[in-house]
Amino acid sequence: MMIKQAAYTVLAEGSVTTPLGFQASGLHAGIKRKKKDVGLLLSTVPAAAAGVFTLNAVRAACVTQNEQQLQALPYLQAIIVNSGNANACTGVQGDADAQEMQRHTAQALGLPAHAVAIASTGVIGVPMPMEALKQGITQAAAGVSAEGGEAFAEAMLTTDTCTKQIAVQLTIDGKTVTIGGVAKGSGMIHPNMATMLAFVTTDAKVDPAALQTLLRQTTDQTYNCITVDGDTSTNDMVLVLANGLADNQTLTPEHPEWSEFAAAFRHVSEKLAKDIARDGEGATKLVEVQVNGAVSTSLAVQAAKKVVGSSLVKTAVFGADANWGRILAAVGYSGIPFDPARVNIWLGDVQVAQNGMGLLFDEAAAKAHLQGDTVQITVDLNLGDATATAYGCDLTYDYVRINASYRT
């Protein structure tokens, strides 16, 4: 079964290995107690690459290493990932371990070291168990296949409850082009970036500079519009590989079908971002906050993220309490210029406030909406034409339980 979406088609069971020329594997190496903890993604040919990385001043070794590498040469052929250990705040030894992780992967695949990116996620401040990791890398390299997308997705997980995968197809220059994606993220989520790893693959031929610009623009509209708990991680990154095996003409903004490719690329990223928000630690609901009528898109994003990240709004959603005053208050401390007396607010289709004041609304209908799996909050500032949507989740007892004992 396939779902038609604009100029692209969403595949029912797609993954990062759905595009031509991509293989993957995932296995348990012993970093975590039982679950898969080492994953490997491989392109059979070199691929144009792009990346965005955490803005946290405290950064894991993998983040700095990848960023420097892509600035020097925007091409990759493999990504090695481990979960269970972030290799962050581990000093000089952590830097050396990250470099060894890259070298060992390159050797196992017969590639130059600069063709390999690395990613880690897990506990901060603990030395990486390198012998277990290296053994896992060797096994992962021997086991890559086009059917390995699901195992790779599982190997990335920490406190996630499910994998997050997608693939879409479209036609470029008469050729079938596929874009696949996979992500992990559950807690410590407040991008610029979040404990968020996302990898996007495509068999399209894309100019590396254009790919980097597209990724940065798309990230600002998707991954950077989600928040679970307001904490920005040390390890976050999004990496994109475009290996060109679809044999289309090189995509740049001047290509006549660039907008179609960009729309499909954004759909992949938006779906992954929403899946991360929905799977926030302890979450029971996806919360979507749309701010309309802003002076600029950046201000709309700023307000929407503040509302969706408010602990009081999140707990009200968890309790199905139509407490619209918390929403208006969050806009008030978001730092954007606005007139509270012009603000209108909706919970789903139920308008609960007009011109900054409460309405006599249908409490039962509002509560019913808040009890659903997806909660939509709309705020109209009535100042301009800009709009933006941010994604998050409710705040539950389980979030505290999970994070109170994360190390133990």
CB contact at 8 A, 291 and 324? no
Omega before 237 within 30 of 0, i.e. cis: no
Residues with Cβ within 8 Å of 107's Cβ and at least 6 positions away in sequence, in order, are: none
The rounded distance, in Å, linking the Cα atoms of 235 and 237 is: 7
Residues with Cβ within 8 Å of 320's Cβ and at least 6 positions away in sequence, in order, are: 367, 370, 371
The rounded distance, in Å, linking the Cα atoms of 139 and 28 is: 10
Is-catalytic flag, 195? Answer: yes
Residues with Cβ within 8 Å of 354's Cβ and at least 6 positions away in sequence, in order, are: 344
Using CA atoms of 55, 262, 291, 304 in order, give the dihedral in degrees to the nearest 10: -20
- The closest alpha carbon to 85, from 29, 28, 123, belongs to 123
CB contact at 8 A, 114 and 108? no
Catalytic residue, chosen from 159, 195, 234, 396, is 195
The rounded distance, in Å, linking the Cα atoms of 271 and 223 is: 10
Q: What is the C-alpha R_g of the chain?
A: 21
Residues labelled catalytic? 195
